[in-house]
Amino acid sequence: MIFNKVLSFFHRTRKTDVVKVFSFTAMSTLVKMLTSLISVKVVAVIIGPAGIALLGQLNNFSSIIMTVACGGINNGVTKYVAEYNKSDDKIRKFLSTALKITIVCSFFCGVLMIILHKWLSEIIMLNSGYGYVFIIFGIALFLYSLNMLLSSILNGFKEFKRYVSVNIAGSILGLIFTLIFVYTLGLKGALISAVTFQSIMFFVTLWMIRKLPWVNISYFKEKFDRDIAQKYFKYTLMTFVTAATVPVAQLLLRRNVISNISITEAGWWEAMNRISGMYLMVITSSFGVYYLPKLSEIKDNFQLRQEIFKAYKIIIPMISIGFLLIYLLRVFIIKILFSADFLPMTDLFIWQLIGDFFKIMSWLLAFLMVAKTMTKIYITTEILFSGLMVGLGFWFVKLNGIVGLTQSYAINYFLYSIYMIIIFRKLLFKL
């Protein structure tokens, strides 16, 4: 009887749009996971926990500066392309304005990073000897920004096959870059590859989408439109707040661990984040492709409610089973991905998995804030819970050491989920 119900559940969900997208992006996700597994293993063995911690510092900074260099408009580009894809004139105006914003922001950020390379090395890497990384990053930043713009447009037009193909190519290129640089230059190579491969990916993306109608200079030649820029600015605010809160929170927490415990334990925490990022990628890759364009299109609250509940019915059983398996296999996962030096991080898994469960639950609602341009609520939420994360993290580290970081993470996202339910209570419960 139970077996029949399980079969019936899978038969019903197999035909839903969410599962179709999951299936469609499965190959991309699989390739990205495999390349990430190989990359993480090689990097961990060669540079060890201390190197992983420094790479984590650079990755957090990279996510901030890359967001600023793109003007923070990529989600807005995806939304408005999806919303106005049937109006050629509007699309041209949106794309032209987006390109001009991207060029100005990426040029400014690149130049500033080159000028401040020594200071950035001391602040971010806690050592003045890594200035060369920020010079290289500043030079490569322009092409990275253009690549992100192309990907956002591709997503907005729902060119899922090409979008997935581009992601697969990016994963493979990233792995090749990492292996070559790490094997030849060690930690130095790991840092350089982290800030360059996305820029090279611009040429690959451009070649792969060259036959699409909008990949034409005429779509980007319209004058700068202030009204459209104001619409993008709302997304810039939301994106900048995210860029200035979540990565900064991680930077502060990692610095606290390095200063007050050890860089090795900071490396364990970064390794836990890497594992978390890999399995969350299965969810986020499909959400990013499916939900933002989908929710942007839906205008009726009843349809929105149906879409959200449909996703919950599918996602909850899937991640519950998946997270249970990850916890049971945690020692095996650490040995496969890292080395014996990372085995003490087994204690971090239970709290990280709990936090990630509530994180995914909250994402299904948080996507609405982006899709419906709920700027004020989004900004307030990001600042509030990033600040709470830092406060809880510092407190719990004093109480329980490195385990306290994952405990604060779980508590933070549990509270975040409750907050999302409160915000969208009328939509969810028809009040």
Nearest in space to 125 (alpha carbons), one of 76, 54, 56: 54
Q: Over 50: is that where the pLDDT of 194 sits?
A: yes
Whole-number average pLDDT of the chain:
82
Higher pLDDT: 292 or 380? It is: 380
Ranking 43-57, 89-103, 154-168, 277-291 by mean pLDDT, the lowest is 277-291
The reported pLDDT for the residue numbered 76 is 85
Instruction: List b or e across 152-162, with b for residues whose CB sees 16 or more CB atoms inside 10 angstroms.
Output: bbbbbbbbbeb
Average pLDDT over residues 398-420: 93
| Confidence at 146, pLDDT banded by 50, 70, 90 | very high
When comparing pLDDT for 12 and 135, which is higher?
135
Lowest model confidence (mean pLDDT) among 7-11, 95-99, 210-214, 229-233 = 7-11
Residue 10 confidence class, pLDDT cut points 50, 70, 90? very low
Lowest mean pLDDT among 79-88, 230-239, 295-304, 309-318: 295-304
Buried b (16+ CB within 10 A) or exposed e, 316-325: eeebeeebee
Read off the pLDDT of each residue in 189-197 and give the average, rounded to a whole number: 85
Helix (H, G, I), strand (E, B) or coil at 373: coil
Tell me what the mean pLDDT of segment 264-287 comes to: 79
- What pLDDT does 11 receive? 47
Place of tokens 């719990």: 396
Q: Is the pLDDT of residue 352 over 90?
A: yes
Count of structural domains within the chain? 1
**pLDDT higher than 90, residue 395:** yes
Confidence (pLDDT) at 163: 79
Q: Look up the pTM and report it.
A: 0.69
> Contact at 8 Å (CB) between 286 and 422?
no
pLDDT band for 110, please (50, 70, 90 cuts): very high
How many Å separate Cα 368 from the centre of its chain?
A: 17
For residues 132-136, give the mean pLDDT: 93
Residue labelled with tokens 């809160």: 245
Query: Are 394 and 256 in contact, with CB atoms under 8 Å apart?
Result: yes
* Mean pLDDT, range 334-355, rounded to an integer: 88
Neighbours of 262 (CB within 10 A): 15
Question: Which range is least confidently modeled, 50-54, 129-133, 332-336?
Answer: 50-54
pLDDT band at 60 (very low <50, low <70, confident <90, very high): confident
pLDDT of 102 reads: 93
Lowest mean pLDDT among 9-23, 62-76, 230-244, 386-400: 9-23
Residues of the domain holding 404: 2-429
Among 34-38, 183-187, 358-362, which is the least confidently predicted range? 34-38
Q: Mean pLDDT across the stretch 80-93? A: 85
- Better-predicted residue by pLDDT, 310 or 106: 106
Give the whole-number percent of the chain exceeding pLDDT 90. 24
Which pLDDT score is estimated for 337? 79
For residue 299, the 8-state DSSP code is: -
Give the Cα separation of 140 and 134 in Å (integer): 10
Does position 211 have pLDDT exceeding 50, yes or no?
yes
For the cut 50, the answer to whether the pLDDT of residue 14 exceeds it is no
Burial class of residue 328 in the structure, from the number of CB atoms within 10 Å of its CB (0-12 exposed, 13-18 middle, 19+ buried): exposed
Separation CA 332–CA 336 (nearest Å)? 6
Q: Is the pLDDT of residue 338 over 60?
A: yes
The mean pLDDT of 274-299, rounded to a whole number, is: 71
pLDDT score of 358: 94
